[in-house]
Structure 1
């Protein structure tokens, strides 16, 4: 009887440990709008994150997804999007789908200003 319980507990532990962490994924969000879907994290990507990309004090882009622990709470200050250089800060969280919340919001007026600057740079 003890052997059966031990084997059952071992199998249950393997099943629980084998389940992947689920996070929300958003490859590119602009001006506070980030369309997201659910993904299973694989390999060393064991944390969910929200990321904000800023140029100066203006929020430009957002991301969500899975990253390794070493990439948590880091800032890459040399990222380019549409010929604008910005810094991307990844902030990790704990638990299933913990990155569901909105990233830092930006005012509509600031968003319109950024789009105007970007459009005029294309002309």
Structure 2
């Protein structure tokens, strides 16, 4: 009887194991767009995903980063300076699988105007 209980307990343990959180990372980021996006499994201590953007006071490109983080270490923003160049890092955290995906790129102005014209033409029957 005890073997049956131990077998059931072992089987139950296998079925109840918690999977690690999955987050996006970006290995190649150009002008704020991720070209090579991958998913990673976070460690048990890393219970959140993050998106961070570093903006500089000088005319430098913004730096974007994504990955796993401990939610207790997630800060909304921080400021500092490097060689008299001030920066602000804004961090956004979330706790669902793959919740730190990149936002869709904004629609270019010409495409938006063209879509508006087509909508107006179809509305007026032109």
State yes or no: 1:25 paired with 2:28: no
Q: CA deviation at 1:84?
A: 4.2
- Which runs of 5 or more residues in structure 1 are unaligned? 108-123
Q: Which residue matches 2:87?
A: 86
Q: Is 1:12 equivalent to 2:15 in the alignment?
A: yes
Aligned residues: 101
Tell me how far apart the structure 2 counterparts of residues 20 and 100 of structure 1 sit (CA, whole Å). 17
Please list, as runs of the form range in 1=range in 2, the aligned pairs for 1:1-123 lying within 5 A after superposition. 3=5, 5-13=8-16, 16-17=17-18, 19-26=19-26, 29-35=29-35, 36-55=37-56, 60-78=62-80, 80=82, 84-102=85-103
TM-score by length of 2: 0.60
Q: Which structure has the higher relative contact order (CA within 8 Å, separation 6+)? A: 1
Give the structure with higher Rg (CA): 2
C-alpha RMSD of the superposition: 3.4
User: CA separation in 1, counterparts of 2:81 and 2:48?
Assistant: 22
SS at match of 2:15: helix
Native 8 Å contact 1:50 1:92 kept in 2: yes
Q: Give 1:34 shift.
A: 2.2
Q: 5+ residue gaps in structure 2? A: 109-126
| C-alpha spacing 1:104/1:55, structure 2 compared with 1 (3 Å) | farther
**Partner Cα distance (2:47, 2:80) in 1:** 25
Give the superposition deviation at 1:7: 4.4
Q: Distance in 2 between matches of 1:49 and 1:79?
A: 22
